[in-house]
Amino acid sequence: MESKTTTIAPPIILAPAGSRDSFLAALSAKADAVYCGLKTFSARMEANNFTIKELSPLSELAHKKKVKVYVAFNSLIKPDELETAGALIKELESYVKPDALIIQDLAVAELARQTGYRGELHLSTLGNLSFPEALKIVKKSFGISRVVIPRELGIDEIKSMADVCPDNVGLEMFVHGALCYGVSGRCYWSSFFGGKSGLRGQCVQPCRRRYKQKGEAKRFFSCQDLSLDILAKLLLNVPKVMTWKIEGRRKGPHYVFNTVTAYRIFRDHAKDPNMKKQAMGYLDQALGRKSTHYNFLSHRPQTPVKTEVQTGSGLLVGAVRGGYKNPCLVPRDELLAGDLLRVGYEDEPGHTIFRVPKYIPKKGRLYLKPFKIAGKAQKAPVFLLDRREEELKEMLSKMDEELNKISCPEVVPAIFNVRPAKRPRKRMIPFEMNVQRKPGRNQKQGITGVWLPLEDFGAIPKKGVTSRCWWWLPPVVWPGQESRLKDFIEAVLKKGARNFVLNSPWQISFFRSLKGLDIWAGPFCNQANQLSISVLESIGFSGVIVSPELGREDIFKLCRSSPLPMGIVISGNWPLCISRTISQEFKTQELFVSPMGEYAWVARHGDDFWVYPNWELDLTAKRDELIKAGCKLFVHMEETLPGKVSMKKRPGLWNWKLKLL
């Protein structure tokens, strides 16, 4: 008998669009789908983004060209924003008809159901679904049909995800674009050092800054861009990878057109060396940072942080000569009239934007206006941010003509009343929990929480102690760690464990039965509203430790409306971020300092690197207020300090009075 050959559908190329011109550039480059965001509830609020009125004709034009439109609705939602969010989803359904919503907050899944939204739900990478077992529950429990997997995964890990992926769920992965140092959904650095939440799309990119350790100031955490380029062909044999996603909603149309064109060639002409060379040429002109394959080749991973490599946004075209009084640039590549240049890094005071007035040949001379960057203009790097070739201008102009012919109805603001979550009936006495890395260390009054997995199975305490402990699952579980973590869970269950804190909703998949268990959502689940908590209640959670980024007013609102008992991290070592990588030049367990004089240190736990500030979160003075508001659990996070690290005494209120979210 002849063997049947399985035909794998080619993946779709998903293009970013943060502006009208970038959207049209994606259509011009023949992208299969475009993703974009609204002015609110988007994880890239620094992009221009769209109103419903602006997006409506663009979506209609895309649909006429058989191009799908995905709307990023992937911000956390606060307790009093649910009705606004629901109304926006109704307006999207009426006037934009998106093919999918990209979500982080599980409340959006429930709002979509309540509003009658008919498109798909795709889980954002901020949702941090990072291990195979979780894929088995996302459709049935949450209605999610596509999962954007973490950028940190290698090809073997991606295959392990695909091997267990259900028929009604697909995988989407980034093939090109910026890399964050922290794992998506596990970074609070911008909140600590910038006062703006990355989980709300307002990241100030503190990882791009220069930090000093042992007298050397370097960009120890600034990553190169991800570019799978010719290696993307390996994904063509992975059937569940349905989408190749390009990052860049803050990028211009030139970048969008070139990257989409390149990856269409990599997909459609994977075996043609001449075409692949042409595709690499498009990427060379896409104005990105130096690139890396990161962990994609599991046997040959690359560290994405190289302090000797320029990692400012845009393409490095040279450095300033002549000082700030008579500055000039001798570009290493030709410059076109209208090119947009930035002198210096985005985080440096006085960085300057220039528009090139006329054509400048390679190694020609462009005179700049006098300026000063951080006291030194000499040798300041110059980056090409955007350009408009005549051919691209003509394409955009033709698309614009088609767009102007589309007439859309006037947008009428929608009204939506969210169905309230049921209030808890269970009465509970407030209690304290001290969370440690190992059981039995520095035992304090109250309940002990212990992180899994432990170093070895021999570290699991006796049955009586195990049953009294609360076992904390890690904030990130990589595919290769899944089996070991499951074995630990089974081991502590056999010794009587009944209390668990899960640090992603998907970790509920590790439990074959919830009978007799007390399972709380941990603080890394980033729960911020009552509707999302009601979704967790429906799948078996019995309590929730809320997002540490919530401020006083929102905490109190959530205490009054949460359908589950509520806890809070009240003191201890809360991380700036969790990362899977570290610069080879950086020393863990030693202090480093930011340009603003903020100190921090890095500890390794398992395969991940936890970055901590050298001061503790401390809301202990607010405990009585929180009890009065209805808070039931008070968590103290404990870390063993390295010998060279001393903690600084600071108020530690973090977001109590601020409004990060």
Of 656, 650, 653, 646, the closest CA to residue 600 belongs to 646
Residue 439 has pLDDT above 90, yes or no: no
**Residue 46: what pLDDT?**
62
Is there a cis peptide before residue 453, judged by omega within 30 degrees of 0?
Answer: yes
Residue 266 has pLDDT above 60, yes or no: yes
Confidence band for 324, pLDDT divided at 50, 70 and 90:
low
Q: Helix (H, G, I), strand (E, B), or coil: what is residue 375?
A: coil
Tens of pLDDT, residue by residue over 359-378, are 999 999 999 877 665 455 56
341 contacts 316 by C-beta, under 8 angstroms? no
The answer to the question of residue 192 being in a domain is no
Residue 659 has pLDDT above 80, yes or no: no
181 compared with 378, residue with greater pLDDT:
181
Query: CATH code at 469?
Result: 3.20.20.380
Sign (positive/negative) of CA torsion 45, 49, 51, 52? Answer: negative
Same domain, 72 and 110: yes
**Structural domain harbouring 86:** 12-179+225-287
Of 449, 483, 453, 480, the closest CA to residue 465 belongs to 449
Q: Alpha-carbon distance 635 to 432, whole Å?
A: 6
The answer to the question of residue 392 being in a domain is no
Same domain, 269 and 157: yes
DSSP 286-350: S----EE-TTSSTTS---S--TTS--SSSEEEEEEESTTTS-EE--SS-B-TT-EEEES-TTSTT
**Residue 35: what pLDDT?**
98
Tens of pLDDT, residue by residue over 502-515, are 999 999 999 999 99
Same domain, 134 and 20: yes
* CA distance readout (Å), 512 to 292, 473, 489, 490, 499: 40, 16, 11, 10, 15
Residue 3 has pLDDT above 50, yes or no: no
DSSP 46-85: TS--B-HHHHHHHHHHHHHTT-EEEEEE-S---GGGHHHH
Same domain, 117 and 236: yes
197 contacts 184 by C-beta, under 8 angstroms? no
Tens of pLDDT, residue by residue over 93-128, are 999 999 999 999 999 999 999 999 999 999 999 999
Per the structure, how many domains does the chain have?
3
Same domain, 463 and 331: no
Query: CATH code at 347?
Result: 2.40.30
**Residue 389: what pLDDT?**
86
The answer to the question of residue 446 being in a domain is yes
The answer to the question of residue 64 being in a domain is yes
**Residue 374: what pLDDT?**
47
Look up residue 604 and give its two tokens. 């390794």
Tens of pLDDT, residue by residue over 9-30, are 999 999 999 999 999 999 999 9
Same domain, 149 and 266: yes
The answer to the question of residue 356 being in a domain is yes
Spell out where 356-504 has E strands. 366-367, 381-386, 431-436, 447-451, 470-472, 499-502
Query: CATH code at 264?
Result: 3.20.20.70
Tens of pLDDT, residue by residue over 459-493, are 999 999 999 999 999 999 999 999 999 999 999 99
Q: What is the pTM of this model?
A: 0.94
Listed residues 362, 386, 410: the one ending a domain: 386
* Sequence-ordered list of residues with C-beta below 8 angstroms from that of 192, at least 6 positions apart, any chain: 576, 598, 613, 654
Same domain, 243 and 326: no
**Residue 245: what pLDDT?**
98
The answer to the question of residue 602 being in a domain is no
Cβ neighbours around 299 below 10 Å, total: 7
Same domain, 161 and 54: yes
Same domain, 80 and 22: yes
602 contacts 609 by C-beta, under 8 angstroms? yes
Q: Is 230 exposed, middle or buried (0-12, 13-18, 19+ CB in 10 A)?
A: middle
The answer to the question of residue 231 being in a domain is yes
The answer to the question of residue 302 being in a domain is no
